[in-house]
Structures are given as C-alpha cells and as structure tokens.
C-alpha cells in the first residue's frame, strides 16, 4: 500500500489503485483487447514496484504513469502500451493548453485587438499586425517564465495578487527603462548604430535625420521611451553648419553672377582659416571681426573691393532666410520620421520626446521656432503629430515674461499647444527643479520623459546631479487603494502595510538591479556601446555595466490616491482641505521611505506618480472581485492616475493645479498635472496661457492641457467634431455625396474615375481653411 500520490500541482491525494486499473482498461479498450484480470494484475505490479522501494514512499503521478508503461511492455501488451503513451500525451496537451499562458496565446492569435484587452495593453503597439502579435507572444511567454523561475516567491505572489505591479515585466531580466539622450555629445565625431558608422553630420537636415536614428537605435536597447534632452542646443549646431555652408555658397553665387567667379574650395579654406585664427565664423548673428577678416580675403581672391563688399552683403541678406527654410524642412522631416518609423521588430513607433526652450542662441531659437511651426502645420494630410512629445522648458528671465529673450517662443508654444496638444510645459522654476539648476551648466536644466519620468538628483555621484545621459532603470507600483480598503479605516494598519509593501518593492527593485548590473556593454550596443549613458564612454564591449547604471533611478510608484483617501476617510483630496492634508501625509510618508532607501544603499531610489496605462484597469478589476463595489473606490473601471483629482470631479482648473502642485514636490521620479479645457482653445489663447502661468506660479513641475482635437479624414477638417463634421456635414462613418465635397472646394479635379485610394496632391492643395463658426 502506498502513502498517497503527488499530483501535478503538488497536492498529495489518497492513493487509489482502481484509478490505475481504469487507465489500463481504457488503453486496452482503445486497442480492442479488454482483459479485466490482466489489467488488475498489471496495476498490482505497478503498486508493488513502488512498495518494494520503501515503506513510506509517495510517488508522483508521472512516476506511476512511467511504471504503467514498463509493466504493460513486460506483460507483452506492446500495442496497448503504445495506446497508453498516446493517451498520456494527449492528456498532457490538453492540460498544457489549459494553462493561462496557452490561453493567452490563443487570445492573441484569434481575437481582434478591438475585442481583446490583452492586445490593447499598450495603445502604441498595433496588436493586429504579425509583428505586434509576435511581440505579444514573446512578452506573455517571458512574463510567465519570470514569475515561475526568477522572482522571489513573495514578490511573485504580491505581483500576481495585485498588491504591487512590476512595470515592463516582460523585460524584467533584459534591460532598463529610458534615457535622456544628449545628442550634442553623441553627434560629436559621429557614431555607429551597430549597422554602420555615421559621420558627424554637416547640416541641419542630417542633424534631424540622425536625431531620429539616435532615438530609434536607443529604443531598441531599452524597454521604455526615449527623449532628447537638448533638442535646442543639440540641433543648433546643425543650423550653424547649414548657415556657414549656404553663406559661402551665396558668396560664390554672387561672384559667379557678376562674372568674377572664385574658387569655392579656396574660399572655404580661407574661411576656416579665419575661424582657426579668431574663433569666429559666418553666423546668424553676424560677427564684425570675422566679416572684416573675410573682406580682406575676398578682396584678394576677387581683386575688386567693391564686388567683395557686395558679395558679402548679398550673402548676409540671403543666407538667413535660406537657413530658416532649410531648418523648417528639417523639422518637418523629423516629425514625419518620428511618426512613421518603426522599432522593436516593426511593431511599434518609438516613444519619443524632445525637451527644449532655454537656448537663447540665434541658431537654437531658429530650431525651436521651426519645430513649433512644423508641428502647427501637422502631417501630410494635416493630421496632428503623435510624436515626438514636445516639452517646452519655462523659465523666468529666459522666456516667461515680455522682454525675456525667448518670450516670443513661449507665446508660439502656447499657440501651437492650443491647436496640437503639444508642446507640454516643464517648469524650471518649480522649487525642486530649481534646486539642482546651475545656470552655468546646461546639463542641469530639467528634462522630462514625455510620460513624466524625471531624473536629476544623484545620490550615487553628487558631482553628476544632471539630467543629461541618465534615466530610469525600472519601476514598480503599489496598489494604494487595496491597502486602504484592507485597513478598514485603521490608519496605523494602513501605514504599516504601506511600509511593508514599499520594502517589498525596494527589495524587488534591487533584485532586478542585480540582474541588470551583470549585463555587459555588448548587450546594449547603442546605449552603452556608443557612450549614450553617463559614464559608459570609457567601457569596453565585455565590461559589465553595473557601476555606471548606478546613475539611473529605481522608482516606486503609486496609483489611486483619490480612491485611497475615499476608502480611508470617506472623501478624496478634491473634496476638502483636511483630505488634502491626509493625501500629502501619505505621499510625504512614501517619499521619506524612498529617501531612507537612498541613504541605506547609496543608490538613486525615487518616488513616482506612476503613468499607469495597463495598470489603471488591472488593479481595480482585481479589487472589485475581492471586495465588491465600494462607492468612490471600486465603482469605476479604473483607478485614478497617481495623485490626480478624479477626472470626473467638477473642479476649476486653478483649484486642480493648486491641489496637485504640492505632490509634484514629493514625486521626484516624475509627475504630471493635466487640465481639461472645453471648446476650441485655439480661439482662447488667453485662457490657455492663464492655465500655464498658474501651473508655474503654484509650483507644478510638468503639466499639459487636454482639449478636443478631432479630424475628419474625408474633408480634412481639423478641430472639434461633435456628432456631425462642421465642414462636410457627415456623421461618423457616413458617406458624403461627391458633389457636396466639390462645392466645398475639395476633390475639384477628381471625378468618379480618378478618385482613388490615395491622397491626391492637387486635392490637398485645393483645401481651404475651415470657418470656425
């Protein structure tokens, strides 16, 4: 007699010999030779085999089945054994198919993204394409593996049960999140993408193309988005080079026209020679020293002082507008590129962001102006560009007030954002952003990833408290509302558990970091191989990246402060100052915990107002199941983002900003405040600006204004569309008579036979601006 049997899931159940007998009989039946006595005999032999091995033996189901096969063969039932083996295999298949992973694969394969939440987990991955599906298989398979093999059991349990959420879990053992790329440094002397070497670019068009490539290459090395931290300063160099090139060409051109041709190479050489001697060059802001030196050279080359002077004048007059035009085209190309290029096996457009606003050089200003104008114009059919996220740095004395050198650009940024939702605004003067700012070091200017991630303080290396070339390593969020519900009004219990789960997150982030640390430079051919990451420039391909990764941040995030407060105290922070005080207490507590982790480890732990996309639904679904519907807590399909006042709560823009600003100071890993405006804000720029200014005055670090931006692809109307398109009068999905569109001045050159599948350039050119009434 056996003690019991260990089932596949590890449970021990009562041993029952009749089950073995039944399985043997089924195999015999399938083979057409049922023999009850023999079946009984073989079953007893199987049992005896184990009994002989020891008194207290508890075999597994698999071991029993193996032995059944052996005994069937011994008894000469070879063909029955074969049946038995087939039967076993098919049972295994069914079992395997029923595991959650295989079910998920099934959903990925056969459901439309429209009906499958799994496939819409990330709105920028097209789950319907082959590459998107392949990416999803990999992602779900990897998650299953990490849960079962890599994570410490308590962490795996907390993640599965929805107490914590390990973000980008599919990349758990592979890479880190994001980087603020310093393109100025990257472009210096050129770089290699791993598929070829690119020389240092020589005009603004190549600068813009290479900026896109940098984002794309780095995105393939990391799991998060990518940002260019110095879009203004970085691309300004390209403008300067374009100016110089066009300027010399214009001199050549003038001389050619007045029939005093000069040798271009000689001219170029002379110009560079002056630069070498004086450090001056032809530039948007004309330099007298250079011009005087150049005039002397020109006089010699041409042999006529008057013509030399005129050539200079001509070049000075022409080159600025030509450079401006070239810059606009480069910015237009950059936006088009970033909206159409693919990364990660073609399944995703790189998540790109660019920061700018404080470069006051003529070249940097030209970059920003044209970036904003190209954004305002939109894509080929007037669509609002989705990428890159643009973040305009607002700063007193630089662009905030009339008289500031970049005030015009701040005004333009407001105008463009009121039409296109970008740029967002970051605030250098928010006390926590100002704290690390050093006007003599641009690398200390604040930078945000589009999603909100922020890195500047550096507990690992106080000499590198900078934004440039750093980023987040990984982050994990806490289900705050769950802890609040479980505390049942007991504040102390809530804080005890909060501390417990933050410690668990801290431990988990360190475990993940231990894996990340062991990676080598060759695992990140661009990020580390090309020296994009701070400190990596001195490393060889086989060096471990552990030490330089310490510049990055390990962040603990949270979701649903509003629901947490409601669960604990009956109201959220929008509903009364006493609840706001409680909210600040909770988030302040969390900040203290991460600060202590910094002290203890010497690493960069930080607190994040989590940008939850998939998570907003995941936690609440689980909590609804656990606790049922709790008013103001689990009664919606999502938990409110981080510390936000609930989106459905009526509140003025200014009150929302005032209430949310203090949380920005606590959440040093990143934060964003949104304000929702109604109607066509492009017709009310004053209101828009008032909101931006309020953000700055109240100490918001990073903010954005949401307003409806709709587009009808049929008539090209861009603005607000209710049920009916204000231009062509159709409803969503309805057709419009061709004549009606032609009366609007559209499709003029088209008739039934020429109206095809693709946009027609003539038609595009025919489109007229839309009346706004």
Report the site for another protein in 97-126 (rule: CB under 8 A): 113-114, 117, 120-121, 123-124, 126
Residue with smaller CB distance to another protein, 381 or 600: 381
Question: What are all long-range contacts of 155-160, with beta carbons under 8 Å and residues at least 24 apart?
Answer: 155/504, 155/507, 155/508, 155/511, 158/501, 158/504
CB nearer to another protein: give 457 or 687.
Answer: 687
What's the min distance (Å) between Cβ of 738 and another protein? 5
Stretch that binds another protein, among 228-236, 273-281, 299-307, 631-639 (CB under 8 A): 631-639
User: Which residues make beta-bridge pairs with 475?
Assistant: 555
Q: Which is nearer to another protein, 117 or 441 (CB)?
A: 117
If the CB atoms of residues 439 and 759 are measured against another protein, the closer one turns out to be 759
**Contacting residue, 49, 677, 726, 766, with another protein by CB under 8 A:** 677
Q: Which of 86, 652, 749, 762 binds another protein (CB under 8 A)?
A: 652
Nearest residue (CB) to another protein, 43 versus 704? 704
Q: Which is nearer to another protein, 607 or 692 (CB)?
A: 692
For residue 654, state whether it binds another protein (rule: CB under 8 A): yes
CB 222, min distance to another protein, A: 16
Residue from 638, 663, 666, 698 in contact with another protein (CB under 8 A): 638
What is the Cα–Cα distance from 331 to 324, expressed in whole angstroms?
A: 11
Give min distance, CB of 714 to another protein, in A.
4
Site for another protein in 435-464 (CB under 8 A): 449-452
386 is a contact residue toward another protein (CB under 8 A): yes
Site residues for another protein, 576-615, by CB under 8 A, read 611-614
By CB under 8 A, name the one of 51, 152, 647, 772 that touches another protein: 647
Among residue numbers 169 through 188, which ones bind another protein (CB under 8 A)? none
CB of 339 to another protein, least distance (A): 10
Question: C-beta of 203: minimal distance to another protein in Å?
Answer: 30
DSSP 227: E
Task: Rank residues 98 and 757 by Cβ distance to another protein and give the closer one.
Answer: 757
Give phi and psi for 706, each to the nearest 5.
Answer: -95, 140
Shortest gap between Cβ of 349 and another protein (angstroms)?
Answer: 10
Contacts of 770 (CB under 8 A, 6+ apart): 717, 718, 719, 726, 727
Angle at 609 between CA 442 and CA 593, to 5 degrees: 95
Q: How far is the CB of 688 from another protein (least distance, A)?
A: 9
- For 514, residues 6+ apart whose C-beta sits below 8 A from its C-beta are none
Q: Are strands 389-394 and 604-609 parallel, antiparallel or unpaired?
A: unpaired
Q: Diameter of the chain by CA atoms?
A: 121
CB of 756 to another protein, least distance (A): 8
For the segment 337-356, give every residue that binds another protein (CB under 8 A).
351
Nearest distance in Å: CB 439, another protein: 28
SS3 track for 37-51: HHHHHHHHHHHHHHH
Q: Which of 711, 726, 748, 766 binds another protein (CB under 8 A)?
A: 711
Query: In the complex with another protein, which residue's Cβ is closer, 121 or 170?
Result: 121
Residue in 425, 358, 414, 415 with CA at minimum distance from that of residue 389: 425
> What Å distances lie between residue 176 and 225, 476, 513, 569, CA to CA?
11, 13, 9, 38
Shorter beta-carbon distance to another protein: residue 368 or 612? 612
For the chain, the straight-line distance linking the first and the last C-alpha, in angstroms and rounded, comes to: 89
Q: Which of residues 297-326 bind another protein (CB under 8 A)?
A: none
Answer for which of 109, 678, 762, 768 binds another protein (CB under 8 A) is 678
The Cα 648–Cα 234 span in angstroms is: 41
Cβ closer to another protein: 59 or 450?
Answer: 450
Provide, rounded to whole angstroms, the least separation between the CB of residue 646 and another protein.
Answer: 8
CA distance 361 to 403: 16
Q: Is 676 in the site for another protein (CB under 8 A)?
A: yes
Yes or no: say if 319 and 308 are a contact pair by the CB < 8 Å rule.
no
Size of the site for another protein (CB under 8 A): 83
| Site membership for another protein, residue 624 (CB under 8 A) | no
Separation between Cα atoms, residue 264 and residue 524, nearest integer Å = 43
**Stretch of residues binding another protein (CB under 8 A), selected from 158-166, 167-175, 241-249, 701-709:** 701-709
> Cβ 194 to another protein, closest distance in Å?
27
Cβ atoms within 10 Å of 43's Cβ, excluding its own: 21
Of 550, 551, 552, 556, which is closest to residue 475 (Cα–Cα)?
556
Minimum CB distance to another protein, residue 47 (Å): 53
CB of 532 to another protein, least distance (A): 22
> What CA–CA distance (Å, rounded) separates 506 from 554?
8
Positions 716 through 745 that interact with another protein (CB under 8 A): 721, 725, 728, 730, 732-739, 741
Return the number of the residue (337 or 458) whose C-beta is nearest another protein. Answer: 337
Q: Which of 43, 255, 416, 672 binds another protein (CB under 8 A)?
A: 672
Please say which residue, 463 or 757, places its beta carbon nearer to another protein. Answer: 757
Please tell me the distance from the alpha carbon of residue 490 to that of residue 492, in angstroms, as a whole number: 6
Q: Are 96 and 102 in contact (CB under 8 A)?
A: yes
Segment lying near another protein (by CB under 8 A), choices 74-82, 406-414, 462-470, 669-677: 669-677
Helix (H, G, I), strand (E, B) or coil at 228: strand
Q: Which of 636, 693, 697, 729 binds another protein (CB under 8 A)?
A: 636
Please report whether residue 377 would count as binding another protein according to CB under 8 A. no
Q: Does 335 bind another protein (CB under 8 A)?
A: no
Indicate the DSSP class of residue 385: P
Tell the smallest beta-carbon distance from residue 527 to another protein (Å). Answer: 21
**What part of residues 62-101 is at the interface with another protein (CB under 8 A)?**
none
Structural contact between residues 131 and 346, judged by C-beta atoms closer than 8 angstroms:
yes
502-541 residues near another protein, rule: CB under 8 A: none
Toward another protein, which CB reaches closer, 146 or 351? 351
Could you give the CA distance from residue 528 to residue 531 in angstroms, rounded to a whole number? 5
Which residue in 63, 53, 52, 64 sits closest to 24, CA to CA?
A: 64
3-state secondary structure 95-164: HHHHCHHHHHHHHHHHCCCCCCCHHHCCCCECCCCHHHHHHHHHHHHHHHHHHHHHCCHHHHHHHHCCCE
Torsions phi, psi for 652 (to 5 deg): -75, 155
Q: Are 376 and 718 in contact (CB under 8 A)?
A: no
Nearer of residues 240 and 374 to another protein, judged by Cβ: 374
Given CA atoms 198, 200, 203, 209 in this order, what sign does their dihedral have?
Answer: positive
Kindly state whether residue 699 participates in binding another protein, applying the rule CB under 8 A: no
738 within 8 A of 747, measured Cβ to Cβ = yes
Q: Could you give the angle at the alpha carbon of 457 between the alpha carbons of 546 and 541, nearest 5°?
A: 25
Look at strands 5-6 and 12-13 and give their pairing. antiparallel
Q: Within 201-260, which residues bind another protein (CB under 8 A)?
A: 225
Candidate segments 2-10, 79-87, 455-463, 649-657, binder of another protein by CB under 8 A: 649-657
Minimum distance, C-beta of residue 520 to another protein, in the bound complex (Å): 31
User: Toward another protein, which CB reaches closer, 344 or 636?
Assistant: 636
**Would you list the DSSP string of 347-360?**
TB---EEEEES---
> Contacts with another protein in 402-431 (CB under 8 A)?
421-422, 424
Q: Is 698 in the site for another protein (CB under 8 A)?
A: no
**Helical H runs in 258-304?**
264-278, 288-302
């Amino acid at each position: 007699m056996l003690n019991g049997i260990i089932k596949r899931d590890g449970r021990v159940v009562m041993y029952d010999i009749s089950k073995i007998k039944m399985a043997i009989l089924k195999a015999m039946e399938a083979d057409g030779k049922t023999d009850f006595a023999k079946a009984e005999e073989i079953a007893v032999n199987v049992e005896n085999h184990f009994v002989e091995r020891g008194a207290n033996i508890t075999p597994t189901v698999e071991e029993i089945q193996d032995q059944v096969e052996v005994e069937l063969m011994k008894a000469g039932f070879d063909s029955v054994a074969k049946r038995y083996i087939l039967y076993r295999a098919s049972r295994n298949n069914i079992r395997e198919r029923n595991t959650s992973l295989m079910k998920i694969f099934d959903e990925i394969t056969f459901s439309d993204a429209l009906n499958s939440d799994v496939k819409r987990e990330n709105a920028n991955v097209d789950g319907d394409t082959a590459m998107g599906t392949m990416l999803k298989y990999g992602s779900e398979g990897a998650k299953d593996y990490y849960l079962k093999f890599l994570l410490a059991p308590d962490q795996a349990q907390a993640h599965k049960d929805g107490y914590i959420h390990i973000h980008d879990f599919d990349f758990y053992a592979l890479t880190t999140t994001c980087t603020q790329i310093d393109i100025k440094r990257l472009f210096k002397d050129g770089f290699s993408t791993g598929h070829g070497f690119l020389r240092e670019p020589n005009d603004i068009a190549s600068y813009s193309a290479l900026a896109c490539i940098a984002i794309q290459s780095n995105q393939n090395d990391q799991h998060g988005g990518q940002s260019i931290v110095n879009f203004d300063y970085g691309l300004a160099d390209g403008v300067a080079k374009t100016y110089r090139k066009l300027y010399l060409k214009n001199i050549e051109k003038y001389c050619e026209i007045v029939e005093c041709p000069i040798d271009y190479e000689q001219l170029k050489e002379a110009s560079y020679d002056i630069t070498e001697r004086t450090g001056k060059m032809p530039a948007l802001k004309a330099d007298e020293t250079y011009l005087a030196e150049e005039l002397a050279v020109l006089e010699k080359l041409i042999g006529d002082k008057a013509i030399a002077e005129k050539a200079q004048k001509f070049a000075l007059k022409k080159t600025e507008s030509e450079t401006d035009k070239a810059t606009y085209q480069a910015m237009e190309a950059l936006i088009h590129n970033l909206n159409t290029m693919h990364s990660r096996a073609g399944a995703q457009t790189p998540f790109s962001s660019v920061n700018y606003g404080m470069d006051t050089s003529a070249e940097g200003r030209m970059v920003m102006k044209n970036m904003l104008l190209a954004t305002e114009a939109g894509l080929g059919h007037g669509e609002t560009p989705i990428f890159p996220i643009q973040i305009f740095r607002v700063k007193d004395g630089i662009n905030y007030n009339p008289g500031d050198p970049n005030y015009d650009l701040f005004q333009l940024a407001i105008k463009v954002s009121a039409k296109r939702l970008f740029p967002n605004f970051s605030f250098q003067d928010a006390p926590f952003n100002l704290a690390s700012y050093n006007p003599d070091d641009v690398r200390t200017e604040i930078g945000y990833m589009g999603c909100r991630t922020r890195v500047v303080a550096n507990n690992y290396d106080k000499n590198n408290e900078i934004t440039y070339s750093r980023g987040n390593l990984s982050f994990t969020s806490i289900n705050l509302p769950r802890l609040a519900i479980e505390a049942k009004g007991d504040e102390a219990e809530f804080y005890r558990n909060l501390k417990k789960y933050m410690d668990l997150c801290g431990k988990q982030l360190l475990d993940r970091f231990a894996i990340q640390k062991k990676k080598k430079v060759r695992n990140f051919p661009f990020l580390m191989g090309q020296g994009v990451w701070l400190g990596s420039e001195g490393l060889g391909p086989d060096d471990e990246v552990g030490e330089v990764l310490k510049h990055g941040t390990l962040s603990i995030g949270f979701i649903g402060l509003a629901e947490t407060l409601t669960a604990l105290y009956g109201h959220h922070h929008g509903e009364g100052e006493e609840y706001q005080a409680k909210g600040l207490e909770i988030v302040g507590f969390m900040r203290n915990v991460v600060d202590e982790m910094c002290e203890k480890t010497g690493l960069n732990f930080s607190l994040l107002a989590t940008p939850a996309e998939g998570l907003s639904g995941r936690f609440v679904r689980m909590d609804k199941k656990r606790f049922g519907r709790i008013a103001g807590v689990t009664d919606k399909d999502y938990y409110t983002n981080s510390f936000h006042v609930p989106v459905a709560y009526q509140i003025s823009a200014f009150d929302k900003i005032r209430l949310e600003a203090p949380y920005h100071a606590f959440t040093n890993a990143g934060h964003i405040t949104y304000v929702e405006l109604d109607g066509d804000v492009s017709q009310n720029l004053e209101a828009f600006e008032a909101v931006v200014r309020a953000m700055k005055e109240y100490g918001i670090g990073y903010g954005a204004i949401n307003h409806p931006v709709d587009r009808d692809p049929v008539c090209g109307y861009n603005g607000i569309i209710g049920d009916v398109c204000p231009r062509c009068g159709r409803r969503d999905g309805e057709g419009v008579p061709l004549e009606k569109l032609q009366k609007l001045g559209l499709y003029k050159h088209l008739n039934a036979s020429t109206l095809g599948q693709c946009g027609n350039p003539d038609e595009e050119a025919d489109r007229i601006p839309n009346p706004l009434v």
